[in-house]
Amino acid sequence: MGPGFFYYRRRMDRRALTRLLLAILAAVMLAALIFATLQLRPLLESLAVTRVSNAVNRIVSEAVDEAIETGDIRYDHLISFEKDNEGRITAVHSNMAACNRLQSEILDLILTRIGEVSARELSIPIGSLTGSALLAGRGPRISVRMESVGSSSAWFENEFTSAGINQTNHRIVLHIDVSVAILLPGFTTATRVTNAVTVAETVIVGSVPDTYTYFSTTPSTYEDDMKDYILNNG
């Protein structure tokens, strides 16, 4: 056998050794992943919920800010005043059609963007599960995915507070509850992210209106949305 044969054999041995080392490395990484998933599940679940909640909060904030900046949410589009002959405000009415349309559009936008969040953005490095500052953010990443579920909802509410002598601050608040399923290797969990955002407000100058049209689109009170509540001047 010539020198070429032994050179070829050594080359093949090196390739086989390289493949073996790669296989061992892959097995170690897989074992580490399984260990992190099984032994550190409570911490993994907590970190995943935190990442998902932060992502949902960011999406909600961006969606509401866009609606305000584009003029979709305006106080005079959602509220109208009824005045007497002397120009005093006697009643406040809500535009239920506009409220329902806006809350539906904003919720649809939020759920669409939740579906567009990549698993890479939510993934958790194994090093972050060790509690070591040196290993935080290092190592193979555990995939985290989220999916919105059907119980998500959005609704408007109003708040009346005293703003001084003969002044009332009227604030319109958008409540958004988003339920998401969190998919992790080997198990699934869920969380509910709640936001309350002031989308419009004004100060009503003058005596307190005699009446106002109830302005909540809360699911539990939806049937009573058009009921008039009486405000007495005392």
> Are both 168 and 61 inside the same structural domain?
yes
Q: Into how many domains does the chain fold?
A: 2
Question: What pLDDT is stored for residue 63 in this prediction?
Answer: 92
Distance in angstroms (rounded) separating the CA atoms of residues 178 and 151: 7
> Are both 22 and 53 inside the same structural domain?
no
> Are both 20 and 127 inside the same structural domain?
no
> Are both 172 and 61 inside the same structural domain?
yes
34 C-beta neighbours (distance < 10 Å), count: 12
Contacts of 160 (CB under 8 A, 6+ apart): 168, 169, 170, 171, 212, 231
Question: What pLDDT is stored for residue 132 in this prediction?
Answer: 63
Question: What pLDDT is stored for residue 9 in this prediction?
Answer: 52
- Which of 54, 51, 34, 52 shows the shortest CA–CA distance to 140? 34
Question: What pLDDT is stored for residue 207 in this prediction?
Answer: 59
Question: What pLDDT is stored for residue 206 in this prediction?
Answer: 66
* Model confidence, pTM: 0.68
Identify the domain containing residue 222 by its residue range.
41-230
Distance separating the N- and C-terminal Cα atoms of the chain: 113
> Are both 158 and 171 inside the same structural domain?
yes
> Are both 5 and 106 inside the same structural domain?
no
Question: What pLDDT is stored for residue 231 in this prediction?
Answer: 34
Give pLDDT tens digits along the chain (234 positions): 545 444 445 555 667 777 778 888 888 877 776 765 666 788 888 889 999 999 999 999 999 998 888 888 888 888 888 887 877 777 788 888 888 888 899 999 999 999 888 888 888 887 776 666 666 767 778 888 888 887 889 998 888 887 777 788 888 899 999 999 999 887 889 999 999 998 888 888 765 555 555 455 554 443 343 233 323 333
> Are both 122 and 174 inside the same structural domain?
yes
> Are both 175 and 191 inside the same structural domain?
yes
Question: What pLDDT is stored for residue 177 in this prediction?
Answer: 93
> Are both 28 and 66 inside the same structural domain?
no
> Are both 161 and 53 inside the same structural domain?
yes
- Is 142 in contact with 123 (CB distance < 8 Å)? yes
> Are both 55 and 18 inside the same structural domain?
no
